[in-house]
Amino acid sequence: MLFRPLLPSTVLLAEMPPDLAHPAHLRPAEYRLIERAVPKRQREFAAGRILAHTLLGELKTTAPALLSDADRVPIWPEATVGSITHCASLCAVAIADIASSAGIGIDVEPAKPLNHELLPQVLRPDEYAQLMALPPSLRPLGGILVFSIKEAVYKAIYPRRRVFLDFQQVEIAFEGEDGFVAEVLVPGAGLPELSCIRGRYRVADGHVAAAVVLPPTL
């Protein structure tokens, strides 16, 4: 699985191509959330919910329906944290109990260079130099990699802080072979208990993946 090397064993993981999911397998309340959406969106949503219910069963936890709040954040059962991500070719879900993690953020993107005109929106000035620290084979994907990392960071912390961040309000640095460290630059948006947020990334099987697992003691 794409994300398995990025996550500790305490985090449960499931993946599938969205094309294999069917909205008919959704709970009625879940289907009502996307009944007017285009078929592509319906399949992606269905894949996430199907995988999530499978993992919740492994945790011995159930949810009549996995709905979303006003901010479109999944409402996980009590004492459970999780994250859902998808692109056209892959959907992944990661969950854990709060004794193992205070929050999870995962993101997947196609392994294609980010449009050049989007780079100034995603990259802060110091991050351009970070791309040169990547192996030469990964440098063309540096922009989409930073995009994915910042998405994972945001998804891990937003359910706790509820502060919107754009890409310029998070700064990342690569660390080791497959790690990164992120700093949230907006007061009150980050986690007071953590001066920085660490995670891991991977490029494989035509995808870019990034994951953040917050420690359980926050």
Model pLDDT for residues 84-141, shown as the tens digit of each residue: 999 999 999 999 999 999 999 999 999 999 999 999 999 999 999 999 889 999 999 9
Question: Residue 53 half-sphere exposure, CB side, CA atoms within 13 Å?
Answer: 14
* Domain ranges for the chain: 4-103, 106-214
| CB 170, CB 150: distance < 8 Å | yes
Tell me the fold of 4-103. Ribosomal Protein L22; Chain A (3.90.470)
C-alpha 35/C-alpha 177 separation (Å) is 43
Query: How many C-beta atoms lie closer than 10 Å to residue 126's C-beta?
Result: 10
Res. 45: pLDDT tops 80: yes
What's the rounded mean pLDDT across residues 21-46?
96
Query: How many C-beta atoms lie closer than 10 Å to residue 78's C-beta?
Result: 8
| CATH superfamily of the 106-214 domain | 4'-phosphopantetheinyl transferase domain (3.90.470.20)
Same fold, 4-103 and 106-214: yes
Structure confidence at residue 195 (pLDDT): 84
C-alpha 21/C-alpha 107 separation (Å) is 19
| CB 198, CB 180: distance < 8 Å | yes
Structure confidence at residue 147 (pLDDT): 98
Res. 214: pLDDT tops 80: yes
Beta strands in the chain (DSSP E): 12-16, 80-86, 91-97, 103-110, 170-175, 179-184, 197-204, 207-214
Which residues 6+ apart lie within 8 Å of 146 measured at CB?
A: 122, 123, 127, 130, 131, 172
Structure confidence at residue 76 (pLDDT): 96
Res. 176: pLDDT tops 70: yes
